[in-house]
């Protein structure tokens, strides 16, 4: 496994009595090492996303989907090395040809999209991603050839939507899902699949190997993306009661302060203090109420804008 593999995934394999070697910056380097060990020790190397038997096994998921949801309009599948979507698409298209097969990748590792643009698998630089299970720098050749004619649409989603999808699944479905498994829901939350509204849609939640610390960061990032975790800087009077007045305003609005600190040394005006606040709101509309109220009272207030823009798009599209 690469060094970026979740600790939980490593420990589970150790618990299954596997010999686990953690080496390599990414899946490509780990694969190279594994193939070398196989040659040196005369072992059989099985590609986890490109071996025909692996893809056939993953195809049984397609059979289970059709047993539970006959003739779905669309099936949304996370894509990394391509083996999962190749196997599922083969089974579903054989039995339900009109079902759309939609693949989803993170913007930090769009190796299948790059392969489609290149007309064949090509090495894709991978950045750190919440969807570590999809972080495969080069899709499998067997998987690519098998899946390509069966895929109706390939979507690339931003990391913020993956974090928000993880949060949604915890709150609405009580499911702990890793970033790779949540990417299908992320595509819907991002508004990429609005044409599927009112249709029978299946989303795979394929993977729960997420470290507790990473899980906590994902939830916080999801809250920030939704506008429920807000950060702002504001200059208030440095006289006694200046910060107290700010806290009174937040309390009146029903906003909960998570963290607060103040800064004096780098301000030009010696009679003011800059206060940095991280706080919790109920939703995006509540955070906008907070923003508007503070701007009416204080002349210098600056919010972190990106999360609010993300959530505004969601409210308009979902």
pLDDT tens-place values along the chain, 318 residues long: 998 888 888 999 999 999 999 999 888 889 899 999 999 999 999 998 999 999 999 999 999 999 999 999 999 999 999 999 999 999 999 999 999 999 999 999 999 999 999 999 999 988 888 888 898 999 999 999 999 999 999 999 999 999 999 999 999 999 999 999 999 999 999 999 999 999 999 999 988 888 888 888 888 888 888 889 999 999 888 888 888 899 999 999 999 999 998 877 766 777 788 899 999 999 888 999 999 999 999 988 988 865 544 555 454 444
| Domain boundary, last residue among 206, 224, 242 | 224
Same domain, 128 and 189: yes
First to last CA, the chain: 38
* Sheet (strand 100-106) strand order: 153-157, 100-106, 74-78, 201-203
Domain assignment of residue 233, yes or no:
yes
CATH of the domain at 182: 3.40.50.1100
Same domain, 58 and 183: yes
Domain assignment of residue 45, yes or no:
no
Domain assignment of residue 107, yes or no:
yes
Same domain, 79 and 156: yes
CATH of the domain at 249: 3.30.70.260
17: left (phi over 0), alpha (psi -120 to 50) or beta: left
Same domain, 186 and 262: no
**Range of the structural domain that residue 14 is part of:** 7-40
State the pLDDT at residue 133: 87
Same domain, 76 and 188: yes
Domain assignment of residue 288, yes or no:
yes
User: Is this prediction's pTM over 0.85?
Assistant: no
Same domain, 195 and 287: no
Q: Based on the number of CB atoms within 10 Å of its own CB, is 141 exposed (0-12), middle (13-18) or buried (19 or more)?
A: middle
Same domain, 137 and 247: no
Same domain, 122 and 183: yes
Q: Give the whole-angstrom CA distance, residue 150 versus residue 94.
A: 10
Same domain, 149 and 236: no
Same domain, 132 and 262: no
State the pLDDT at residue 59: 96
Domain assignment of residue 46, yes or no:
no
Same domain, 157 and 304: no
Structural domain tally of the chain?
3
Domain assignment of residue 1, yes or no:
no
Same domain, 132 and 206: yes
């Amino acid at each position: 496994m690469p060094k970026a593999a979740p600790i939980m995934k490593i420990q589970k394999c150790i618990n299954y009595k596997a010999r686990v070697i953690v080496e390599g910056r990414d899946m490509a380097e780990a694969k190279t090492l594994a193939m070398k060990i196989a040659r040196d020790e005369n072992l059989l190397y099985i590609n986890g996303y490109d071996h025909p038997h692996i893809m056939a096994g993953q195809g049984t998921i397609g059979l289970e989907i059709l047993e539970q949801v006959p003739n779905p309009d669309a099936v949304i599948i996370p894509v990394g090395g391509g083996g999962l979507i190749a196997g599922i698409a083969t089974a579903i298209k054989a039995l339900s040809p009109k079902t759309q097969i939609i693949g989803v990748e993170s913007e930090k590792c769009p190796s299948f999209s790059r392969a489609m643009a290149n007309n064949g698998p090509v090495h894709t630089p991978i950045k750190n991603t919440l969807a570590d299970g999809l972080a495969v720098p080069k899709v499998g050749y067997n998987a690519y050839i098998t899946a390509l004619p069966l895929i109706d649409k390939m979507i690339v989603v931003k990391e913020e939507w993956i974090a928000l999808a993880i949060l949604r699944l915890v709150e609405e479905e009580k499911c702990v899902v890793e970033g790779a498994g949540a990417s299908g829901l992320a595509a819907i939350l991002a508004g990429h699949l609005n044409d599927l509204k009112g249709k029978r849609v299946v989303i795979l939640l394929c993977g729960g190997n997420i470290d507790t610390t990473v899980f906590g960061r994902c939830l916080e990032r999801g809250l920030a993306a939704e506008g429920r975790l807000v950060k702002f800087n504001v200059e208030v009077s440095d006289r006694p009661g200046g910060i107290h007045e700010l806290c009174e305003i937040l309390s009146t609005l029903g906003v909960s302060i998570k963290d607060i600190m103040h800064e004096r040394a780098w301000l030009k005006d010696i009679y003011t203090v800059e206060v940095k606040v991280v706080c919790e709101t109920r939703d995006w509309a509540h955070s906008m109420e907070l923003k508007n109220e503070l701007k009416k009272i204080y002349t210098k207030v600056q919010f972190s804008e990106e999360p609010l823009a993300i959530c505004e798009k969601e409210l308009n599209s979902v």
